[in-house]
Amino acid sequence: MFRDHPLFCFWLSYVPIVIITKAEAAEALISGTKHLQKNWSYNFLHPWLGTGLLTSHGSKWKSRRKLLTNAFHFDILKDFLPVFNEQSQILAKRLKNEITKDFTNILKPVTLCTLDIICETTFGVKIGAQENEESQYLKSVTRAEEIIIERIANFWHWSDFFYQFTESGKELKKHLNVLHKFTRSVIQKKKNKLLFDSPDPNQKRKRMALMDLLLEHHIQTKDLTEEDIREEADTFAFEGHDTTSMAVCWALYLIGLHKDVQDKIHEELDQIFGDDLERHVTMDDLKDMTYLDRVFKESQRIYPSVPIVARRVSEDTTICGYRIPKGSSCAVAIYQVHRDERMYPNPEKFDPDRFLPEKTASRHPYAFIPFSAGPRNCIGQRFASMEEKIVVATILRYYTVKSLDQREKFSVVAELVLRPSIPLRIQIRPRKKDQ
């Protein structure tokens, strides 16, 4: 109905929402520094994340963004490679239990892996989610996300005052207390260690987690409070596990539908690693995974983990000839932007070669925005891309995957991340007979 229009408007209860579906309109909204404030829907995350990088705006957002950019410097990302590799190897070996089954719902084991990775890289703490599925932290993260989704979908729960008295509000508070208590405990232990432990000049330099960098800044400058650190650590843990786990699952699902694509990935991985299943992936290896990189981009085009990003228009503005008044809520429908037939002929077809260099060179820069774009793009996109490729490459070094459900069998559901309406059944089988 709106395929030929760059945007349209609909009403959510009494709230008008402008939906952007074309690259040029997305660029007009999110490329500059005018409309940086997230819209009202992000307020539902405040009880969990406070006003960290995801939900803050104005001078607080600018100063935090500048500070946190240093946490994703190339040298720090290199330090995270052992974590990505160790947890991916644990996942691959756990999947051995699945090879005799008719199918596996791959989401749960992948989510446990990405949660282990994000907690170790953010907090510097091994929570062992893959070994201990009964972890209270894991249960509270999972349930808190479910409750927030339910609240957003229920207009009657939008009022903070009334919501706190509901059973749902009380349950959310209970789980957030668990998460906040965990984060504050880690902050206190690490701060005490920094303040009172004498450095050993003979000790090898220790890998820095995000929290270590923030605590050093807190101690040296006093610019950040402990609660500020808690907000940012919880923000990274929230943003960095569900989005990544769904990106990995969508990629495995599409690879499992297309044997020709999987064969090419296996060939590329065999050229890089030979028969060595346990050698860790290096930065040079990641550069050599050119075909897997294209596969991931095409997977993220079809199924972007974050299907929509929303902003509050800070002043009267015109987008593609349409006047948008100040205070309006505008949402970029990334899922639709990625299906523009002008940019991607036959957009539902899975074709990794869309991302060959010669094809991307002439494409609109905002036609592919799985990590958003502009000043408020995802600060951790390089981190996420490295993690996703290492997890999938490690799995496919051990196994072949076959998806049992065609794409027509399910619809997609836009929650906090993009999910399938049914569990995706994937068959996992060993690549080598001696495994």
Q: What is the dihedral of CA 247, 248, 251, 254, to 10 degrees?
A: -110
Amino acid identity of 72? F
Contact 168, 142 (CB under 8 A): no
Instruction: Return d(Cα 197, Cα 202) in angstroms, integer.
Output: 14
Residues 6+ apart with CB under 8 A from 284: none
Angle at 386 between CA 382 and CA 389, to 5 degrees: 135
Token digits of residue 157? 């729960």
Amino acid identity of 255? I
Pick out the residues of the known binding site.
378
Long-range contacts of 405-409 (CB under 8 A, 24+ apart): 406/257, 407/257, 407/348
Pick out the residues of the known binding site for heme.
378
Write down the residue that tokens 């005490």 correspond to.
192
Instruction: Return d(Cα 347, Cα 368) in angstroms, integer.
Output: 12
Of 96, 12, 66, 71, the residue nearest 375 (C-alpha):
66
Amino acid identity of 121? T
- How many Cα atoms are found within 13 Å in the side-chain-facing hemisphere of 367? 18
Alpha carbon of residue 284 to chain centroid: 23
Beta strands at 15-20 and 329-333: parallel, antiparallel or unpaired: parallel
Instruction: Return d(Cα 137, Cα 326) in angstroms, integer.
Output: 41
The number of beta carbons lying within 10 Å of the beta carbon of residue 284 is: 8
Three-state secondary structure call for residue 279: coil
Instruction: Return d(Cα 210, Cα 180) in angstroms, integer.
Output: 17
Instruction: Return d(Cα 188, Cα 327) in angstroms, integer.
Output: 40
